[in-house]
Structure 1
Amino acid sequence: MPLTPNLRGALFMSLSMAGFTFNDIIIKFLSTGINMGQIIFLRGAVATVLIFLLARHRGALRPLRMLADRWVALRVVGEIGGTVTFIIALSHIPIATASAILQALPLAVTMGAALFLAEPVGWRRWLAILVGFAGVMIIVRPGTEAFSPYSLLVVGTVLFATLRDIATRKIHAAIPSLFLSTVTAAAVSISGLFIVAPLGGWRPVDAGQFGLVAAAGCLLLVGYQFIIMSMREGEISFVAPFRYTSFIWAVLLGYLVFGDVPDNWMIIGGFVVVGSGLYTLYREQVRQGQEIAARAPARPTP
């Protein structure tokens, strides 16, 4: 029995989140033997080559002068900041904890769009955003023995990723996504070189380690490709909630690979954040439905 477009979209979104999470698992595994700056550089180099080849195959390459735009620059800054903060944090805290905090990203993007792009956000969604951020505080638990300052780096990742996503909305449609991704991946890769020395200097990389770094770069491409396919297959309202399967992947793989068992507070906080995000998606669909109904011509009365 063939899958419906919505179910295919949901499957593709789940596979995308799996790709990203497996990438994170590899990065965390390598962090004990390789400088994190090296990982960012090497993984970024592999990803850049792969995305460049895909962009060239699809005719998406453009002259670099098209990138002379402040929104492009802000997007690159957001991508670099998000990558560096997340990868450094990932080497010090459980992957499930990092993933749970990252689930606040849709809430942060909604808030940023309201504050900086003047997008309408009703009181229900503002309340959901506040509840979601309270969930993040439950996970981070500042002032307790369970608190790790590296958790705040993931909060920084959310802020940088919000900057990236808001800037992306403002970039001119004439700049192809693959071209933008190629340039961004190259910039992120180069940024890794600047933090190699502060993080302890370059260490020898053997063939096995480089193979894992290359696999992480391939998984990034898989994640990005499947997320595009998911949005093209199914309705966003149906597909988007499956983005939160990354939290399930992180808990499962963190336990299987590293033996990490999330405590009750982390699980509670994670579900508070995810629940708030799902409610925000629901209210966005309600708002869009109301706008469509308001624009529809009134039926003549018989």
Structure 2
Amino acid sequence: MPGVAEHPGPGEVRRRRLAGIVLMCGTVAFFACLDASAKTLALAGVDPLFTTFMRYGVSVVMVSAFINPVTTPGVVRTRRLWLQVVRSLLLFGSTALNFFALRHLQLAETLSIQFAAPLAVALLAGPLLGEWSSPRRLAAIAVGFVGVLVIVRPGVGAFQPAVLLSLGNMLCYAFYLIATRKLAAIDSTATTMFYSGLAGLAVMAPLLPWIWSDPASPGLWLLLVGVGLFGTLGHWLLVLAHARAPANVLAPFLYTQLLWSVLLGYLLFGDVPHRWTLIGGAIVVASGLYLLSQERTRRPA
């Protein structure tokens, strides 16, 4: 009937959700390849700061080809320029700290610590966003951070100072997520994507003479371009996935990245995750899934 919006039937909804789940699995596979490429470059002697610069340099070029003032008029107009700049710097800092940490830590170890970012967001959302957590959610957050302590194991002989870099990555990413949520209410998604890598690149550009690396083989140059491609394609698939399925359906599949990290770590670097990493990672993931279930109860799809 003209003028009446058509609603997809149950079969179409299921197909779209399945497509979203497949896209989300592709997303985490790209992100795992990104980390594996960054670790390979770091072990080959490439400065992680230069790898970070290439990560966002390639991304900015690719995004700007589709989102720019010509194709998207008004995309540079933002109501919170300072927050866009801070968000971009937090994203850049998070990536740089992660790449530095990957020189010394296993892929599964850094990722397990980064999975605590949603827990930190849930804890910080109260004072920063006015979204206070219930006692049950606070208990889940506390358990999740216990999982991080199990991975890090401070005060024991196995403690590695590099985990501090990974913890810094997790905190930067948590504040980046909070900034993203605040901007979602005032700026368009296209505007936020346009600004994502610009501030970090502007800060790093003057440092290029000091951080420039001249990789010894064409393969390393391909990996440098690859970190940008993997990151950009991963985020593109993430957007496509969320266009087809609700976030609460897709979120649990983010944790499948841990499986990719374990597999790539073993195949490429011979890394076998320590049992404490697996135990702590399982605790962090379980806490995150519990918070997700509570979010579903508070906000039905």
- Normalised to the residue count of structure 1, the TM-score between the two structures is 0.87
User: Post-superposition shift, 1:176?
Assistant: 3.2
Report the counterpart of residue 122 of structure 1 in structure 2.
134
User: Post-superposition shift, 1:69?
Assistant: 2.8
SS at match of 1:171: helix
Of residues 3, 11, 17, the one that matches 2:28 is 17
Q: RMSD between aligned alpha carbons?
A: 2.4
SS at match of 2:156: coil
Report the counterpart of residue 7 of structure 2 in structure 1.
none
Report the counterpart of residue 288 of structure 2 in structure 1.
277
Q: Are 1:103 and 1:247, in contact at CA under 8 Å, matched by a contact in 2?
A: no
Matched, 1:235 2:246: yes
Q: Are 1:36 and 1:196, in contact at CA under 8 Å, matched by a contact in 2?
A: no
What's the CA shift string for 1:162-181, capped at 9, x where partnerless?
11111112226563323322
Of residues 56, 59, 65, the one that matches 1:44 is 56
Moved more, 21-30 or 172-181: 172-181
SS at match of 1:147: coil
Matched positions, count:
288
What's the CA shift string for 1:203-251, capped at 9, x where partnerless?
3234332211112211111110111111111122221111111111111
* Partners of 1:261 and 1:123 in 2: CA distance: 37
Matched, 1:156 2:168: yes
Q: Are 2:69 and 2:75, in contact at CA under 8 Å, matched by a contact in 1?
A: no
Q: Are 1:138 and 1:265, in contact at CA under 8 Å, matched by a contact in 2?
A: yes
Q: Are 2:106 and 2:271, in contact at CA under 8 Å, matched by a contact in 1?
A: yes
Q: Which runs of 5+ in 1 are unaligned?
A: 293-302
Q: Does the C-alpha gap of structure 1 residues 121 and 148 become closer, same or farther in structure 2, counting only changes over 3 Å?
A: same
The 5-angstrom pairing of residues 1-302 of structure 1 reads: 4-31=15-42, 32-56=44-68, 59-60=71-72, 62=74, 64=76, 66=78, 69-171=81-183, 173=185, 175-193=187-205, 201-205=211-215, 206-289=217-300
- Report sequence identity in percent: 32
What's the CA shift string for 1:240-273, capped at 9, x where partnerless?
1111111111111111111100111110000000
Report the counterpart of residue 298 of structure 1 in structure 2.
none
Report the counterpart of residue 8 of structure 2 in structure 1.
none
Q: Are 1:60 and 1:176, in contact at CA under 8 Å, matched by a contact in 2?
A: no
SS at match of 1:252: helix
Q: Does the C-alpha gap of structure 1 residues 132 and 284 become closer, same or farther in structure 2, counting only changes over 3 Å?
A: same
User: Post-superposition shift, 1:21?
Assistant: 0.9
- Normalised to the residue count of structure 2, the TM-score between the two structures is 0.87
SS at match of 1:12: helix
What's the CA shift string for 1:83-102, capped at 9, x where partnerless?
22111111121111001111
Moved more, 259-268 or 186-195: 186-195
What's the CA shift string for 1:136-179, capped at 9, x where partnerless?
00000111121111111111111111111111122265633233
* Partners of 1:94 and 1:138 in 2: CA distance: 15
Q: Does the C-alpha gap of structure 1 residues 28 and 6 become closer, same or farther in structure 2, counting only changes over 3 Å?
A: same
User: Post-superposition shift, 1:128?
Assistant: 0.6
- Aligned partner letter, 1:169: R
Q: Are 2:78 and 2:191, in contact at CA under 8 Å, matched by a contact in 1?
A: no
SS at match of 1:233: coil
* Partners of 1:163 and 1:186 in 2: CA distance: 18
